[in-house]
Amino acid sequence: VTLRSSDSRLVAVTRAISPALVHCELTHIPRQPIDLAKARAQHDAYEHLLSDLGCAVTRLPAAPDMADGVFIEDTAVVLDEVAIIARPGAVSRRAEVAAVATAVSQWRMLVDIEPPGTLDGGDVLVVGRTLYVGETARTNAAGRDQLAKATEEFGYEVRPVSVTDCLHLKSAVTAVTDETLLINPLWVSGNVFDGLRLVEIDPGEPFAANALRIGDAVIHAAEFPKTRRRLEQIGLRVYPVPASELAKAEGGVTCCSLIFTAQPQGPRP
């Protein structure tokens, strides 16, 4: 794996799986039994892969009363210059942010999303200086406006994106290179992403649009081999990880980490 020089010291913050995971929030899928031991083994393998791909992994402890705490992506948006501490749309998840804010404050200046704003990190897709933000039940207009205000001085622009039939924007579309998105066109329209190359998921694998890019490697759930082949066909190096158990909690591979450069960067000249 070749990491771009700006990525040369990547941090991945993760959070251990809570024993309460079986009581997680569910919106679009029915509740199924989750094998906690298997979920933990899959999560461990995911962390090992992050480490093998060059990330320094910091794992926060689980909180027994925070069922969805493992889905740490939703609690913050960490940019090169600043970290936005989210205010999750699900009330049950609001307590998750405190420990994440404390951890991330080692690396970044923090800005909090305040009421009445709500924002889930899973709704924010960063492509260069564009922040595509899902219009979902979890992220409202006030949350998007606060994100825009906190980041405009660094040259970012927020673009709202409508999303249907899935939880978060990044359930429907993620970036696999600087200029390529992996997309489920049934859940989000590709029209918003002008100038970017779109790779569609295999239609038989609706949850396959969630991929996690680390440098020029792509982490992808092992349950979606047909979509994986599409990524390999355009020359990407895909690392499949078994992710079946957390998928039953409506989580994917991006959800389980916050990835950012160790060195904060100032505004561009």
Q: Is 163 in the site for ligand CIR (CB under 6 A)?
A: no
Q: Is 158 in the site for ligand CIR (CB under 6 A)?
A: no
Angle at 150 (CA atoms; ends 219, 89), nearest 5 degrees:
60
Q: Is 34 in the site for ligand CIR (CB under 6 A)?
A: no
- Closest chain position to ligand CIR (CB): 122
Interface mask toward ligand CIR for 230-259; x: CB under 6 A: -------------------xxxx--x----
Tokens of 22: 């079986």
CA–CA separation, 9 and 263 (whole Å): 8
Q: Is 167 in the site for ligand CIR (CB under 6 A)?
A: yes
CB 77 within 8 Å of CB 261: no
Element (H, E) at 182: strand 180-183
From 49-57, 96-104, 167-175, 219-227, give the range in contact with ligand CIR by CB under 6 A. Answer: 167-175
Residue 97 has φ and ψ, to the nearest 5°, of -75, -30
28 is catalytic: no
Q: Choose, by CB under 6 A, the member of 17, 34, 46, 73 that binds ligand CIR.
A: 73
DSSP-based three-state secondary structure for 73: helix
Q: Which amino acid is at 9?
A: R
Could you tell me where the DSSP H helices lie in 173-259? 225-233, 244-247
Q: Is 143 in the site for ligand CIR (CB under 6 A)?
A: no
Interface mask toward ligand CIR for 179-218; x: CB under 6 A: ----------------------------------------
Catalytic residue among 24, 55, 166, 255: 255
Pick the closer one to ligand CIR by CB: 3 or 26: 26
CA–CA separation, 180 and 199 (whole Å): 7
Tokens of 161: 């994106």
Q: Choose, by CB under 6 A, the member of 71, 107, 207, 224 that binds ligand CIR.
A: 71
CA–CA separation, 64 and 101 (whole Å): 18
Give the strand pairing for 10-15 and 55-60. parallel
Q: In the complex, what is the shortest distance from the CB of residue 93 to ligand CIR, in angstroms, rounded to a whole number?
A: 6
255 is catalytic: yes
> In the complex, which residues of this chain contact ligand CIR (CB under 6 A)?
24-25, 27, 68, 71, 73-74, 90, 93, 122, 167-168, 170-171, 249-252, 255
Catalytic residues: 168, 255
